[in-house]
Amino acid sequence: MRRKGFDQYCGLARALELIGERWALLIIRELLAHPGRYTDLLDELPGIPTNVLSTRLKELEEAGIVERRIAPAPQRGVVYVLTKAGEGLEGAVLTLALWGNGQLAEYEVGDRVPPSSLAMALRATFNRDAARGLTASWEIRAAGAVLHAVVTDGHLTSGTGPAPTEPDLVVTVPGDAVPPYREIMRAIKCGEVELSGPPSLLDTFARVFTPRAI
């Protein structure tokens, strides 16, 4: 059944027609962090019904926001990736996430922190001025979650999963659960992490991934 539109010639109304359904933006968040299989998305979005995931993916494909591709070797099968139009939603997702962070209650042990939200936090806090001319790479590990941040001549590439090449510094955050981003940064700034690589790059990381003062 075709969804009812807002009958308005308005960019916001059109955006909501395309991505305003329940779970749609969270699917986009996951794919911004890393292309994923259908089963990956089910695992990363606990609570989403299988029929809803299938429907949302179909709607996002029809809207030209998501597309299916054959997974590169040695993987097999199909992965979902964002199109250029889908990648263009990154700024809106980051803005909404930053606004939502201000509405969160205090973190409690047991709260689930999606690794993809940490990858988005890396992008949201990336200080381009502090990273100007920098080339370095980091891998952050926390309770089974793995993130990477690669800065090449001041330009950031980040996401979930291992770094595409051997990272300059591996940072392991202790604990049995994936912590929120602010707790990861607190542990890094206080030196409460395990390192594999040059310790000086930990200070660089803390400087580059701290928001620029306004």
Q: Show the 3-state SS of 95-138.
A: HHHHHHHCCCCCCCCCCCCCHHHHHHHHHHHCCCCCCCCCCEEE
Is the CB of residue 80 less than 8 Å from the CB of residue 121?
no
Is the CB of residue 176 less than 8 Å from the CB of residue 116?
no
Is the CB of residue 58 less than 8 Å from the CB of residue 29?
no
Q: One-letter amino acid identity for 12?
A: L
Q: Does pLDDT of 72 surpass 90?
A: no
Is the CB of residue 161 less than 8 Å from the CB of residue 146?
yes
> How is 154-195 classified by DSSP, letter by letter?
TEEEEEESS-SS--SEEEEE-SSSPPPHHHHHHHHHTT-SEE
Tell me the mean pLDDT in the region 68-89: 92
The reported pLDDT for the residue numbered 213 is: 55
Helix axes 115-125, 181-189, angle to 10 degrees: 60
- Inter-CA distances, 32 with 29, 73, 97, 107, Å: 5, 21, 13, 24
The reported pLDDT for the residue numbered 122 is: 96
Q: What is the per-residue pLDDT across 181-202, written as a single tens digit (0 to 9) for each?
A: 999 999 999 999 999 999 999 9
Q: How far apart are CA 16 and CA 14, in angstroms?
A: 5
Q: Does pLDDT of 11 surpass 80?
A: yes
- Residue 27 exposed, middle or buried by CB count within 10 Å (0-12, 13-18, 19+): buried
Q: Strand pairing of 145-152 and 136-142?
A: antiparallel
- Inter-CA distances, 42 with 52, 90, 178, Å: 10, 21, 18
Tell me the mean pLDDT in the region 8-14: 96
Band of pLDDT at residue 109, cut at 50, 70 and 90: confident
Q: How far apart are CA 127 and CA 67, in angstroms?
A: 31
The reported pLDDT for the residue numbered 76 is: 80
Q: What is the per-residue pLDDT across 129-164, written as a single tens digit (0 to 9) for each?
A: 999 999 999 999 999 899 999 999 999 999 999 999
Q: How far apart are CA 43 and CA 47, in angstroms?
A: 9
How high is the mean pLDDT of the chain? 94
